[in-house]
Structure 1
């Protein structure tokens, strides 16, 4: 199935993105949670979705595309970590915290979910980078483009073996922090395992 911008053009795709983003705020306001929790959920969405979160990560990713190999590896490692945290990890953290806040979770639980989401999100991005180059394109549903576009990824910087090690290490960290939830952590453990086990 073709992506939105391929079928309808970039202008319509951007407008669809704008519509979905604003609709997310609308959906939060319809929650049956308290007004205080709704306000906090809106704040979380605005923070992680804004210039301090996903926008910052996407801008850095865009700026490094095609230019990353001119810099030293230590600096690139820091830039890559920033992109991973601000893009995919920010999205996962926001999703977890919004749901938890609306459900009335306490601050300690929110902190656990933040650490879990950060590590699981980074692992997800690493696996995504690996799949972009090595997965069956029919299963993946898209043509791999990271290498073609000369993007800064964990693969381009460290290679496949090191990338896989990093993904499993981040998942280990994500699952470790869940211990305080006891049996209630089962769904999050399954999600973490799915991240490193997925093929598309």
Structure 2
């Protein structure tokens, strides 16, 4: 079984339109309460710090993108890039409030590092790592990078572990065959959310 996102011929072109919002939400009635729970959890874990808005926006965006990826095998740049911009803008504000740009620099390096790592995997195996996942790495690397370089690595690592475990379970239960594709974006998002919700503390990682 391949855990991938189907890659368009031009990595900057989305092969399918983003679904219309109203019908899409009707098909995913549990999405709103899930988003509320995720937002509340991330906010509670972050606490009353200026960066809380950025983490909440990124977390909500990751959940929405995961559902779209599961539906369409697509992580549309029309959503990923605006989410990146919004998260970056909120982190700039947070850095200004803190009066220290160190965390913002770390966030940018985390974004670049995550993008670079997944881009190399995309070059080596385009069928195994879609460019949408590379795009997504910009967002998750930025948000986790604010917390620390180890958080970026750990979030991606958890994503790969989840993909391997779920992939194996799908094979064993014969829900999917070896040649069936499963989108990878939701696993990256899950790893990121795990860290944002405090999974890094469980692993003994300190933030900053």
Which structure has the greater CA radius of gyration?
1
Greater length-normalized contact order (CA 8 Å, ≥ 6 residues apart): 2
Per the normalisation by structure 2, the TM-score is 0.38
Per the normalisation by structure 1, the TM-score is 0.39
